[in-house]
Amino acid sequence: GAGVSQSPSNKVTEKGKDVELRCDPISGHTALYWYRQSLGQGLEFLIYFQGNSAPDKSGLPSDRFSAERTGGSVSTLTIQRTQQEDSAVYLCASSPWGDQPQHFGDGTRLSIL
């Protein structure tokens, strides 16, 4: 597709379960980013991948959060043992390379019961 694609668009799960969120970046974009948007808060950086460089994980809030990017394209954000405070919209973005404008997907709305 032409834009950043994220799935699922909505996810409802019980506290304590693991969830996986998927991001398919714009074709040819080497940089991929994950952000979180909580109710009433600004977007918060989580992690980025740039080419073959080691990912910058400095924004991950706890060791329950992890992400991988396979083959330099699709990325998966995994949250283990979900907590209610993990409820948020998780947004993925990509850019042609590191200092170019980031283009966002529609996000995954995660609700933890």
Partner 1 sequence: EDKVVQSPLSLVVHEGDTVTLNCSYEVTNFRSLLWYKQEKKAPTFLFMLTSSGIEKKSGRLSSILDKKELSSILNITATQTGDSAIYLCAVGRGTGTASKLTFGTGTRLQVTL
Residues lying near partner 1 in the complex (CB under 8 A) are found at 3-4, 31, 33, 35, 40-45, 48, 50-51, 53, 56, 58-59, 91, 95, 97-107
Query: Residue 44 CB, nearest distance to partner 1 (Å)?
Result: 8
Query: Residue 100 CB, nearest distance to partner 1 (Å)?
Result: 8
Cβ contacts of residue 86 below 8 Å, gap of 6+?
79, 110, 112
Query: Residue 14 CB, nearest distance to partner 1 (Å)?
Result: 25
Query: Residue 20 CB, nearest distance to partner 1 (Å)?
Result: 20
d(CA 5, CA 2): 9
Q: CA angle at residue 87 from 4 to 38, to 5 degrees?
A: 70
d(CA 6, CA 65): 17
Indicate the helix (H) or strand (E) that contains 68.
strand 65-69
Which residue number, 82 or 108, has a Cβ lying nearer to partner 1?
Answer: 108
Which residue number, 62 or 100, has a Cβ lying nearer to partner 1?
Answer: 100
Which residue number, 10 or 78, has a Cβ lying nearer to partner 1?
Answer: 10
